[in-house]
Amino acid sequence: MQEVAEYVPPVERALAGLLLARPVTVPRLPVGVSSREQKAAELQRLQARQAMTAAYEAELVLALADDSPDDGDPAPGTPGARSCKPDTELPGVSKFCTAELAVILNCGRGTADHLATRAWTYRERLPATWAALTAGDLDEARAKALVDVLQHTDPALAWRIEAAVLPDATALTVGRLKKRAIELLLEADADAVDQRRKTAERRSDVRVYPSPSDGMSTIAADLPTDVAAACQTTVDALARMLKADGDPRPIGQLRTAVFADLLQRPWQTGTAVTAHLQIVATLASLAGRSAQAGEVNGFPITAAHLRELLRELDALGVQAPEGRSVTVTLTDDGTLRATATLDRLRRLAQRGCPHHPDGDCGCTVLDRPASRDGYTPSAQQQAFVRTRDRTCRMPTCGQRVGWADADHVIPHAHGGATDCANLCCLCRSHRRVKTCARGWRFEMSPDGTLTVTTPSGTTRTTRPPGVRPPPPKAPDPPPADQPADPDDDPPPF
């Protein structure tokens, strides 16, 4: 880490500002008139430029890290401090640095962590690889492969392995380069490989990747190779048993059905885990008058798929499935106005207005939960905010509300109200950023639109799902005494 900030003359700083203000341009050859040989040569030049850009990106990331020392982070054991040290933490760098990097690049937190760790590895363990990348002599894919293998290795050992594999790196495929580096690492230090496995186990998780077009999703789990092979063999064997019994479905479809049944165990009663599904749909789509897509747990599906799911839950008749409840959300132009269970709606409809019980006065009987004096949001506020936000509201984060807290945007200790207009869902990691990191600014409008500004001045805005962005502002008409621009005359010109 830099202990003293390097002095930059004002002229050089101003010149840097002018260069940053210039539009981004990419040098291009006239592709249409290039020969086959020229196209091939330009593709190779483009690959070299991409390598140089990756090296420059790593340099910028490290410079941003140098601007973010950890001396302002919460001390261990104090509020806001992490209970354990993450694998991707960079020595001497604020733990909030990668959160800022994610907002700057508009990418996920994991992507930002990997980018920062890769840049750090280049500098500390693979300087020759970084130099080759900077010169355009080594492509980024091969450089990343060496980082994947050597990022947890002792620097001296990493330098030795780098020196052994780098001269022939471009002559090997990415897979063979990675295999060769692993072989050398196993020969020199088997403990390092074991450390990589333990690190991968700590990072393992189950993820869902929705398809944008066909209403399907892929579920993936990070498992040790032997366990993954055993699971696949079990699923395949059970699917082939169904096929042998005469099931006409394709074998791939049978494998997915077996996989789902093994996880959900529908044949077991009394021990099943109840899963909460948040279903969003318009009344028109439920009644079949519209094809507007609804959502299930934040994943878009077609109206037909939604109606099929609701029929399975026995809810198309607006009835709660046995042992469960139905929550109805009321929106206005995409903005959530209120949430209520079906039973509460029936009670409100039966009771009517408490002030005018004898007539249809038009008074509001259902709205968003009222503000309260205490710090802890009420159950109604929690339900409203979770229904409105559905995920962590930090830009680039998609953590589900089950892992997020309803947090005060303006801190309660600083006068922030416990009101839905001042509450938003933030996962634990980004709640620490808002509460403990220096230089961040969080602002929220009454409809739930959240604006986040990083210490470097990057601003991102997120709206609750369903909230429509404001329409573009129409240009002001010219003054009555000002003639119209001739270029705006209608044809013929």
- Cβ–Cβ under 8 Å, residues 94 and 126: no
Between 8 and 41, the higher pLDDT residue: 41
Q: Where are the alpha helices (DSSP H) in 137-280?
A: 140-150, 155-165, 174-188, 190-203, 225-244, 251-264
- Those residues whose C-beta lies under 8 Å from the C-beta of residue 24, and which sit 6 or more positions away, are none
CA–CA separation, 424 vs 396, rounded Å?
15
Q: Are 147 and 178 in contact (CB under 8 A)?
A: no
- Each domain of the chain, given as residue ranges in start order, spans 38-74+84-202, 217-264, 306-361, 379-462
Q: Which two tokens stand for residue 60?
A: 């910028």
Would you say residue 139 has pLDDT above 90?
yes
Measured in Å, how far apart are the chain's first and last C-alpha atoms? 64
As a whole number, mean pLDDT of residues 396-414 equals 83
How many whole angstroms separate alpha carbon 218 and alpha carbon 115? 25
The pLDDT, as a whole number, for residue 479 is 63
Cβ 129 vs Cβ 121: under 8 Å: no
pLDDT digits (tens, 9 = 90+) for 60-91: 999 999 999 988 888 887 777 766 555 556 88
Question: CB neighbours of 72 closer than 8 A, spacing ≥ 6?
Answer: 94, 438
Q: How confident is the model at residue 177 (pLDDT cuts 50, 70, 90)?
A: very high
40-65 confidence digits (pLDDT tens): 999 999 999 999 999 999 999 999 99
CA 419 to CA 283: how far, in whole Å?
A: 29
Backbone torsions φ then ψ of 5, nearest 5 degrees: -65, 135
What gap in Å lies between CA 155 and CA 158, rounded to an integer? 5
Q: How confident is the model at residue 227 (pLDDT cuts 50, 70, 90)?
A: confident
Top-ranked range on mean pLDDT: pick from 213-227, 262-276, 410-424, 464-478: 410-424
